[in-house]
């Protein structure tokens, strides 16, 4: 009986380590976005980011690009759907990584779908990806605002 208790205890306390052994290696494609996030935040991230295949998603999750996944409330990882990622322009990839890191690292769980009078999203913490018009007329001219607002709260701009 003692041996079963010890095995159970070891498996519970080493769950994260075991999980990391089986996680795929992170892609170099994420490095520039992670480095920029860390520079703006002033801390190193602890959340692993890696690609998954679309076949691993539920039918209801089609079109999802990324997700911050939590296990037991303490273990977290970011999964990016490779097939969706490959379709995205650079700016949208940057937004996706910052958005998911905001969930996992900054613990920002709410989505903000509000819009400015101009029609631009207030935040990158939306439930949808920016469309081409929003990328050109909202994100690109206000990139610094969008990438910093998650650290400072939503700031007003025209």
Query: What is the domain count for the chain?
Result: 1
In this structure, what CATH number is given to the domain that contains residue 114? 3.30.2010
Q: Tens digits of per-residue pLDDT, 119-154?
A: 999 999 999 999 999 999 999 999 999 999 898 865
CA distance 42 to 37: 8
Question: For all residues of the chain together, what is the average pLDDT?
Answer: 81
| pTM listed for this prediction | 0.80
Which tokens belong to 56? 């691993």
Instruction: Tell me if 10 is assigned to some domain.
Output: no
Instruction: Tell me if 9 is assigned to some domain.
Output: no
Instruction: Tell me if 2 is assigned to some domain.
Output: no
Instruction: Tell me if 13 is assigned to some domain.
Output: no
Task: Point out the residues of the chain with pLDDT beneath 50.
Answer: 2-22, 155-158
| Structural domain range at position 138 | 26-152
CA distance 103 to 151: 12
Between strands 75-81 and 49-52, the pairing is parallel
Annotate 59-93 with DSSP letters as a single string.
GGGTT--EEEEEETTTEEEEEEEHHHHTTS-HHHH
Which pLDDT does position 27 carry in this prediction? 79
């Amino acid at each position: 009986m003692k041996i079963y208790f010890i095995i159970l205890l070891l498996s519970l306390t080493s769950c994260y380590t075991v999980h990391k052994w089986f996680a795929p290696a992170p892609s170099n494609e994420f490095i520039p976005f992670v480095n920029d996030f860390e520079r703006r935040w002033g801390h190193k991230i602890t959340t692993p980011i890696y690609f998954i295949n679309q076949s691993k998603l539920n039918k209801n999750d089609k079109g999802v690009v990324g997700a911050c996944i939590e296990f037991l409330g303490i273990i977290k990882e970011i999964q990016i759907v490779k097939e969706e990622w490959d379709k995205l322009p650079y700016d949208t990839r940057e937004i996706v990584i910052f958005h998911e890191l905001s969930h996992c690292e900054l613990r920002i769980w709410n989505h903000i779908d509000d819009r400015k009078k101009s029609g631009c999203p207030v935040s990158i913490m939306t439930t949808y990806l920016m469309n081409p018009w929003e990328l050109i007329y909202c994100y690109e001219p206000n990139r610094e605002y969008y990438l910093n607002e998650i650290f400072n709260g939503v700031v007003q701009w025209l």
